[in-house]
Structures are given as structure tokens and as C-alpha cells.
Amino acid sequence: MGRLAIAWAAWILAISGAGAQEDAIPTSLTGAPGDAARGRAIVANRQVGLCLLCHNGPFPEERFQGDLAPDLTGVGARYTEGQLRLRIVDPARINPQTIMPAYGRTEGLNRVIGAFAGKPILNAEQIEDVVAYLTSLRAEKTP
Amino acid sequence: MRALALALLLVAPLAQAGEIPAAERRSDTVTMSAELRAMQADDMANPASFWALDGQTLWDAKAGTSGKSCADCHGDAQASMKGVAARYPAFDGATGRVLDLEARINQCRTDRQGAPPLAMESRELLDLTTYVGLQSRGAPISSSDPRLAPAIETGRQLFSARQGQLNLSCAICHDDNWGRKLGGATVPQAHPTGYPIYRLEWQSVGSLQRRLRNCMVGMRAEPYPFGSDAYIALEAFLMFRAKGLPMETPAVRP
């Protein structure tokens, strides 16, 4: 069984809920830790992670950051790695009214445009990279 | 400093869930830069004036097998079209359908002028809708025909429905989070006071349907076909939602 197949199995397990605890997905979707530097690039990219459209964060080089959602500064101190993973994969599990998209869910969506149909916003490896980056954000805002 | 920020938060009329209270309803013109507001207000600077001028020419031009122009039946648009766009979309008794201004102009072309319909977003249709819309500048949006109720209700449901890969709805941004920042842009209340608009991003005049299409693609949702009942229902709901606000056609937007 190749690495990809294992990752896919873990992924299906995670999104089907079997690997998810009530408030967290404790284990990596790929079986390997993500790369925080790649995760930072995904978070900052407005076509890939899209995060900064709604969130602020510790990105001094990024001029236009949204304020529809909480500041990401210190988010790694507020949530565990597993809590962050679930909140990226399917935040509606925590709050059904949330406006945050589910980055790892493809079911229960309407009118998804052709190019994105059946695809999650981020794949398992990208989600692990973002989890690794967000987990590293432990410092609160300097006053 | 933190206390001041908190105090500002408490008094700032920021986003709130649900429909926008009448007292807070406003055109998004007021949140634009002074430069853009000046461009919109001055017909010599507003790029959409070119579309309006061409629309005036088309109004007087004979078209189709009838050999008639718009003016041959409707006379001077400055009189006959005054306030008309502020009442659209409108219910068409003959067909039992709700028509937006584009659909009405095309109905006139095919049924009265014997001319082929103009394509959505074609220069000619934008010219005519801009010219007709201009005659309502300052008129309050007044969608009051009870026969529009089913379309308005459909539009309301479409406005609130989650859609696309990002699983957002129109209401999440424009009812619940207007005034906040989406990336670098202030989320507008999204009242269709000034359509067709000249949008700097387009470098062109465009219709409300084109604008709705942009938002749907942004949510990674499959846009409706141009001219579809879904768009007309959304237009009817948005005009109902903007009731009382003055028309500003042709508006300028970033």
C-alpha cells in the first residue's frame, strides 16, 4: 500500500467522523506531520488557503487582511493541534452556523462550480501543513 | 487604548445578523473614496456617460421589420421613462412573467419592433439600460406590485441559501457582515441602486446579473445562465430590500 493510499484511507476515516473525537481530530490526516513554512504560504495565499480574506494574522507583509473572523495570532495557544485540525476540516461540527468553509468536506454543498466539484478546498497534505503552521502560532499580540 | 477600541466597537454600527434595519440602510456610494464619489456624481467624469449617450442614439434609431424606434412609441425618454427603472423588475401581465429591464427591452424589440433580441451584456443592451436607468436618477426604489411577491420570496431564499465550494450565502456577507473587511474590500450592503454600473475592475459598464455572477464565482458556485428566472428573482428581492433608496444609475464602483 503506497503512501498516497494510506493517506487517502486516513483522510476518509477522518472526514467520515470515525477518526474524529467530539472536539478534535487527534491524528494527522496523512500519517505524517505537516510543514509549517508551507502552511504559512497556504494561509497567506488568497487563491489557495483564502484565510486572510476573513482572518487577520501575524503577516506584516500582507496589506489587506479581513476582519470577518477571529485574529489568527496566538491561535496555537488557544487550541490543540487536534482541535485546529477539526476546525479546518469541518468547522460546522463545532458550530453549525459558522461562516467558515469546511476545507476537507465535499458533501452537503450546493451548486459547486465545475472546476471545484467533488474536490475539497485543501487536500490532506495541505491541511496538515496549515495545522503545523497554526499550531506554531503561540505568541499573543505584542502590545 | 484598549478601552477606546472597545468603546468604539460598542458604538460602531458594525455587522449584525439578520436583515438590515431601515435606519441603517444606505447606498454603498457613501463608503467609496471621495475620488470615486466625485467620478460618479459628475457626468463629465463618469465613464458610463458614454454608454448613456449611445443609448440615447439607439433610443431614436429605427430597428427591426417594424421600422420603428423606441422613441416612435415612447416619445422622449426623459419624460416617458422617468422613474421606470426604479420599479423594475416588474410583472408582465401579458406573459405572467417577471421581467427585468433587460428582458423588457428585449420583449419590446421582438414583439413590437420585429428585431432580434440583444444579447445580455452586449454593448447595445447596456447602452439602452443605462439610458433608461438614467431617467430614474434620484427616484426612490419602489417595488410595490403585489404580483412580484412570489419572485421576491424566491429571491429571498436564493439570497439566504448556502452555495458553492466555500458554502457561503449572499446574506452572510451583505446582511450579517456589511461594513467589515473581506480582504481589502469593505463588504457592501449590496443595494442595486446604480445599475448598470461602471465598475473599475471591469473597465466597463455591466449589469446587475453580471455582478451577481461575479459573487457566485467568488463563492465557487455555478452561476445561473444569463437571463434566468433565478437572477430575475434575486434582482426583484434586492430591489424590494432596497426600497426607498434613491436610484443612482449609472453608478461607479471599484
**What is the DSSP annotation of B205-225?**
EE-HHHHHHHHHHHTTBPPPP
With beta carbons under 8 A apart, name residues in chain A contacting B183. 46, 52-53, 64-66
Give residue A4's pLDDT. Answer: 45
Task: Sort residue A116 into left (φ over 0), alpha (ψ -120 to 50) or beta.
Answer: alpha
Number of domains in chain A: 1
Of B134, B169, B195, the residue at which a domain comes to its end is B134
Query: Which domain CATH number covers A120?
Result: 1.10.760.10
Q: What is the per-residue pLDDT across B187-237, written as a single tens digit (0 to 9) for each?
A: 999 999 999 999 999 999 999 999 999 999 999 999 999 999 999 999 999
- One domain, residues B79 and B158: no
If you ran DSSP here, which 8-state letter would residue B91 be given?
A: E
With beta carbons under 8 A apart, name residues in chain B contacting A47. none
Query: Which domain CATH number covers B245?
Result: 1.10.760.10
Q: Considering the domain boundaries, does residue B240 fall inside one? A: yes
Sign of CA dihedral A78, A83, A86, A91: negative
> Residue A106: closest CA among chain B residues belongs to which residue?
B165
Burial environment of residue B203 by CB neighbours within 10 A (0 to 12, 13 to 18, 19 or more): exposed
pLDDT surpassing 80 at residue B9: no
When pLDDT is averaged across residues B175-181 and rounded to a whole number, the result is: 97
Q: Which 16-55 residues of chain A touch chain B by CB within 8 A?
A: 46, 50, 52-54
Domain that holds residue A118: 3-135
With beta carbons under 8 A apart, name residues in chain B contacting A66. 180-183
- One domain, residues B126 and B147: no
pLDDT band at B18 (very low <50, low <70, confident <90, very high): confident
The DSSP bridge pattern shows strands B185-186 and B181-182 to be antiparallel
- One domain, residues B191 and B93: no
Check CB contact under 8 Å for B177 and A52: no
CB atoms within 10 A of CB B34: 7
Q: What is the per-residue pLDDT across A72-92, written as a single tens digit (0 to 9) for each?
A: 999 999 999 999 999 999 999
- One domain, residues B238 and B186: yes
A130 to chain B, any CB pair closer than 8 A? The answer is: no
B186 to chain A, any CB pair closer than 8 A? The answer is: no
pLDDT band at A22 (very low <50, low <70, confident <90, very high): confident
Report the gap between the CA of B90 and the closest CA in chain A (Å).
27
Catalytic residue (one of B70, B73, B108, B215):
B215
Q: Which of B160, B167, B214, B224 to mutate to probe the A interface, most A CBs <10 Å?
A: B167
Give residue A73's pLDDT. Answer: 97
Give residue A3's pLDDT. Answer: 47
Q: Considering the domain boundaries, does residue A141 fall inside one? A: no
Q: Considering the domain boundaries, does residue B42 fall inside one? A: no
Of B134, B157, B192, the residue at which a domain comes to its end is B134
* Average per-residue pLDDT for chain A: 89
Check CB contact under 8 Å for B184 and A67: no
Report the gap between the CA of A10 and the closest CA in chain B (Å).
22
Q: Considering the domain boundaries, does residue B72 fall inside one? A: yes
- One domain, residues B57 and B125: yes
Domain that holds residue B22: 18-32+142-253
Report the gap between the CA of B11 and the closest CA in chain A (Å).
17
Q: Considering the domain boundaries, does residue A105 fall inside one? A: yes
Of A50, A67, A115, the CB nearest to B180: A67
When pLDDT is averaged across residues B26-32 and rounded to a whole number, the result is: 95
The ipTM value here is 0.88
pLDDT surpassing 90 at residue B177: yes
Check CB contact under 8 Å for B181 and A68: yes
pLDDT band at A54 (very low <50, low <70, confident <90, very high): very high
Q: Considering only A45-54, B11-20, B44-53, which range has the smallest mean pLDDT?
A: B11-20
Number of domains in chain B: 2
Q: Which letter, b or e, does each residue of A53-92 get, where b requires 16 or more Cβ atoms within 10 Å of its Cβ?
A: bbbbbebeeeeebbbbbeebbbbbeebebbbbbbbbbbbb
Of B164, B166, B180, the CB nearest to A68: B180
> Residue A120: closest CA among chain B residues belongs to which residue?
B165
pLDDT band at B109 (very low <50, low <70, confident <90, very high): very high
Percent of chain B with pLDDT over 90: 91
CA distances from B189 to A4, A131, B201, B203 (A): 45, 34, 19, 22
Q: What is the per-residue pLDDT across B137-174, written as a single tens digit (0 to 9) for each?
A: 999 999 789 999 999 999 999 999 999 999 999 999 99
Active site (annotated) includes residue B108: no
Of B100, B134, B168, the residue at which a domain comes to its end is B134
Give residue A20's pLDDT. Answer: 60
Q: Considering the domain boundaries, does residue B8 fall inside one? A: no
Check CB contact under 8 Å for B165 and A64: no
**Residues contacting residue A5 through CB under 8 Å, at least 6 positions apart:** none
Q: Which grid coordinates are listed for B219?
A: 463563492
Q: Considering the domain boundaries, does residue A142 fall inside one? A: no
- One domain, residues B151 and B248: yes
Q: Considering the domain boundaries, does residue A143 fall inside one? A: no
Report the gap between the CA of A49 and the closest CA in chain B (Å).
11
Residue pairs spanning A and B at CB distance below 8 A: 70
> Residue B172: closest CA among chain A residues belongs to which residue?
A99
Say if residues A109 and A124 touch (Cβ distance below 8 Å): no
Check CB contact under 8 Å for A65 and B181: yes
Q: Which 64-103 residues of chain A touch chain B by CB within 8 A?
A: 64-68, 99, 101-102
Percent of chain A with pLDDT over 70: 84
Q: Considering the domain boundaries, does residue A42 fall inside one? A: yes
Q: Considering the domain boundaries, does residue B3 fall inside one? A: no
Q: What is the per-residue pLDDT across A111-137, written as a single tens digit (0 to 9) for each?
A: 999 999 999 999 999 999 999 999 999
pLDDT band at A141 (very low <50, low <70, confident <90, very high): confident
End-to-end CA distance of chain B: 33
pLDDT band at B10 (very low <50, low <70, confident <90, very high): very low
The rounded distance, in Å, linking the Cα atoms of A103 and A124 is: 9
Q: Which letter, b or e, does each residue of B232-254 get, where b requires 16 or more Cβ atoms within 10 Å of its Cβ?
A: bbbbbbbbbbbeebbbbbbbbbe
Rounding to the nearest 10 degrees, give the CA dihedral for residues A83, A85, A86, A88: 120
The rounded distance, in Å, linking the Cα atoms of B236 and B155 is: 7
Check CB contact under 8 Å for B183 and A109: no
